[in-house]
Structure 1
Amino acid sequence: MWFVQEGPSTKTEGAGVALAYTLGKDGRRLHVIERDLSEPDRIVSELLQPSGYIKLLELGLEDCVDEIDAQRIFGYALYEDGKNTKLSYPLENFDSDVPGRSFHNENGTTKGVNYKNKSGQEFTTKALLTIVCDGCFSNLRRSICNPKVEVPSHFVGLILENCNLPYENHGHVILGDPSPILFYPISSTEIRCLVDVPSQKLPSVGNGEMANYLKTVVAPQVPPELYTSFIAAVDKGNIRSMLLATFIRMLESMTLL
């Protein structure tokens, strides 16, 4: 059996590496192919829910979140219409320390893969079973089908510095107008902000439209404790965006099991 992983992964994320580890412990013969071992530069998959951490425990991989400045997450704070409340994960019945953690197809039969190493040398490997775990931007998926994907919104990401969340060790969801805003720590000094922008076409970053949108529409709804750092992050201009089918999928993932 060969195991193939094409997409970039982080130390704590990826169905591919977890599957490879599990199959390896079961005595399977594996060949793991990774496209890139460098830290991925993206604005999602930075928060591992307790259910995900429990799976790490079950696999014996809990040390994956050690020594990477991972932040323990105990629940979420919700903001709407000037009111807020804190909702903690129901972790009382668990013996282990299981809070969440946040941190900085083909026509016919697939018989194997062709790939290149760093020096450009080409290799061909064949196997009875090929498993591809290359994420939502899979090139393979696009080559074998043409799914009709609607994009009603985009994620816009910023990193806030020199501030503290109102509720320590909690994600923060602002049920804003016209769409939600999310804050969570990704290190001991940084807070990720994700803004859902409900449009098929994003305001331009280059001509200042995005900065104006963030300052005039989003900033007034940001908790006062984060406002100054939010504006500073916008002025810094390091604004990232990502297509999303819906922001609700992120909110739905905020469950324990």
Structure 2
Amino acid sequence: MPDSFDVLIVGAGVAGSALAHGLATAPRKTPLRIAVLERSLDEPDRIVGELMQPGGVNALKQLGLEAVLENIDAAKVKGYCVCDTSAGKTVEIPYPGGHEGRSFHHGRLIMNLRAAARRAPGVHVIEGTVTDLIEDSSSARKVIGVRASLKGEEEKQSFFASLVVVADGCYSNFRTSVLGPAATKPTTKSHFVGAILEDAVLPIPNHGTVALIKGSGPVLMYQISEHDTRILIDIKQPVPADLKAHILANIAPQLPSSVQLPVKIALEKDRLRRMPNSYLPSTPQGSTSTKPGIILIGDSWNMRHPLTGGGMTVALNDVAILCPLLASVSDLSDWSTVKPVLNRWCRDRKPLASTVNILSVALYDLFGADAPELELGGECVNGPVSILSALVPSPALLTYHFFSVALYSIWVMFTHPHLVSRPDEKPRHAPARLEQYPFLLLKSVRVFYTACVVFGPLVWMEMFAHAGPSRRALLLGVVVPLVVWATFFSGLA
């Protein structure tokens, strides 16, 4: 086995395996020699990364990897179903245009992706744990390879490459050392607690189900094989001491009746597993603060809340954009030619990645809200389903829909009948009275303020936090006023 390659990829998950295949098959004058180092090549067992949006399926097709969804007992996903059992409401949200996603056991997909990478020309998949980065002593901080402990060998082995790509997931060991002072720490609001339900019947077949739970975060359910359905229960801090008892007493009774018995059975026979729901905005790569010769991709660089199932979609779209850009570079060891490619990649990925990231966190804040000001905006999922599915990547359109819903909720407060209860008569619905207007006006301000507090920081972090002064001036002077006015007039209409 050689110890020198053109590209060395750390991690053989979704992003790493897809990148190896994509680079090996991209049109190029000189074929690349690629090594993929993975700690364990056994089938992974995770409770997330099991639902792929239609946008992710499209990215697989673009990479020539659509076959990895075959022979893994994957289920079709035709949209979402939002359930609020306390209100007796079930809302179907189909994907537009007949598009479909897929859901599956995560490990089965990964094994197919690794097999596809192995079959690609010039790719070596190696089982070993990367422990250190190797830097060129003659060039300040430039990474030229890694040291790894290979399975079955006592001594570490060095591997060298023109370009090193880190795709080692959410618990990345190299994020801080690569990004330097620009690195940020992931923020975790809650955890998903997962189990598998056997032969459960969801309210709407082939739809991911989001159950809204009073006093807790949302519960997500989707079929991942013929007989298995994944359930992910959002648990906020502090985690209850007896988690199973908490779920049985407070969560299960609020779930659709068809899944309550499978949930109880699963809690009796299956171990509960936890996964942090983390958010990590992307940081520009190729800048003076980051190490040359190495880049990050996937969850090691950028994470969003898993509620919308957008993680794999963002990673695969990143790979689909990056592969032809890197294939156009004749000498990957020349960092001066790689840097412009990274800058273009970071720019070209923004529309889809930022849209999915913003929506995932904003929807979680809405679905998991205890504040009535946020709950009024829950209907926002009906408008931007094309955005949710990653078929229409547009932060501007997402902003429009989000604030349209906020203004619509204000209009509803003033124009729709309210439930009136008086001691001398039966409860009835009646229009808002004039003397109620001051209170409704104050509540309207709180609704719009809360929408801004939820949405504004996300847009800033995703689109403008690392932008130059001119782009920030464009946001404050042009984009914000246009969006506000357009949203306001659409609300009036």
Q: TM-score, normalised by structure 1?
A: 0.86
Higher relative contact order (CA 8 A, sep 6+): 1
Aligned alpha-carbon RMSD (Å)? 2.2
- Residue 91 of structure 1 aligns to a residue whose secondary structure is helix
Equivalent-residue separation in structure 2 for 1:195 and 1:213 (angstroms): 11
Tell me the residue number matched to 1:16: 16
Over 3 Å counting, the alpha-carbon distance change for 1:166 and 1:203 in structure 2 is: same
Kindly provide the amino acid, as one letter, of the partner of residue 232 in structure 1. I
Equivalent-residue separation in structure 2 for 1:134 and 1:160 (angstroms): 29
Matched, 1:115 2:148: yes
For residue 84 of structure 1, the aligned residue among 84, 90, 93 is 90
Kindly provide the amino acid, as one letter, of the partner of residue 115 in structure 1. A
Tell me the residue number matched to 1:95: none
Equivalent-residue separation in structure 2 for 1:40 and 1:161 (angstroms): 20
Aligned residues: 242
Q: CA deviation at 1:33?
A: 1.7
Q: CA deviation at 1:238?
A: 1.3
8 Å Cα contact 2:53/2:100 also seen in 1 = yes
Q: CA deviation at 1:91?
A: 2.8
**What stretches of structure 1 of length at least 5 have no aligned partner?**
93-97
Q: CA deviation at 1:225?
A: 0.5
8 Å Cα contact 1:71/1:169 also seen in 2 = yes
Equivalent-residue separation in structure 1 for 2:240 and 2:175 (angstroms): 29
Equivalent-residue separation in structure 2 for 1:19 and 1:248 (angstroms): 23
- Residue 39 of structure 1 aligns to a residue whose secondary structure is coil
Tell me the residue number matched to 1:64: 68
8 Å Cα contact 2:82/2:91 also seen in 1 = yes
**What stretches of structure 2 of length at least 5 have no aligned partner?**
1-5, 106-131, 136-140, 280-303, 309-358, 361-387, 392-493
- Residue 143 of structure 2 aligns to a residue whose secondary structure is coil
For residue 28 of structure 1, the aligned residue among 32, 40, 45 is 32
Deviation per CA, 1:69-99: give whole Å up to 9, x if none: 011111110112320011111134xxxxx51
8 Å Cα contact 1:90/1:256 also seen in 2 = no
Matched, 1:176 2:176: no
Q: TM-score, normalised by structure 2?
A: 0.46
Tell me the residue number matched to 1:165: 202
Kindly indicate which of the two structures has a greater share of residues assigned to helix: 2
Q: CA deviation at 1:167?
A: 0.9
- Residue 33 of structure 1 aligns to a residue whose secondary structure is strand
- Residue 202 of structure 2 aligns to a residue whose secondary structure is coil
Q: CA deviation at 1:53?
A: 0.6
What aligned pairs does 1:29-44 form with structure 2 within 5 A after superposition?
Answer: 29-44=33-48
Equivalent-residue separation in structure 1 for 2:261 and 2:23 (angstroms): 49
Equivalent-residue separation in structure 2 for 1:82 and 1:248 (angstroms): 27
- Residue 38 of structure 2 aligns to a residue whose secondary structure is coil
Q: CA deviation at 1:162?
A: 2.6
- Residue 152 of structure 1 aligns to a residue whose secondary structure is strand
Q: CA deviation at 1:237?
A: 4.2
What aligned pairs does 1:199-218 form with structure 2 within 5 A after superposition?
Answer: 199=237, 201-204=238-241, 209-218=242-251
8 Å Cα contact 2:82/2:90 also seen in 1 = yes
Deviation per CA, 1:110-154: give whole Å up to 9, x if none: 110111322125321112210111111111125566744432211
Equivalent-residue separation in structure 2 for 1:70 and 1:249 (angstroms): 19
Tell me the residue number matched to 1:53: 57
Equivalent-residue separation in structure 2 for 1:248 and 1:135 (angstroms): 14
Equivalent-residue separation in structure 2 for 1:197 and 1:237 (angstroms): 18
Q: CA deviation at 1:29?
A: 2.2
Matched, 1:256 2:390: yes
Tell me the residue number matched to 1:4: 9
Equivalent-residue separation in structure 1 for 2:145 and 2:177 (angstroms): 16
Q: CA deviation at 1:243?
A: 1.4
Rg comparison, structure with higher value: 2
Equivalent-residue separation in structure 2 for 1:42 and 1:235 (angstroms): 20
8 Å Cα contact 1:89/1:256 also seen in 2 = no
Tell me the residue number matched to 1:244: 277
Matched, 1:193 2:193: no
8 Å Cα contact 2:277/2:305 also seen in 1 = no
Equivalent-residue separation in structure 2 for 1:135 and 1:219 (angstroms): 32
Kindly provide the amino acid, as one letter, of the partner of residue 31 in structure 1. A
8 Å Cα contact 1:91/1:99 also seen in 2 = no
- Residue 179 of structure 1 aligns to a residue whose secondary structure is coil
Matched, 1:133 2:167: yes
For residue 191 of structure 2, the aligned residue among 145, 150, 154 is 154
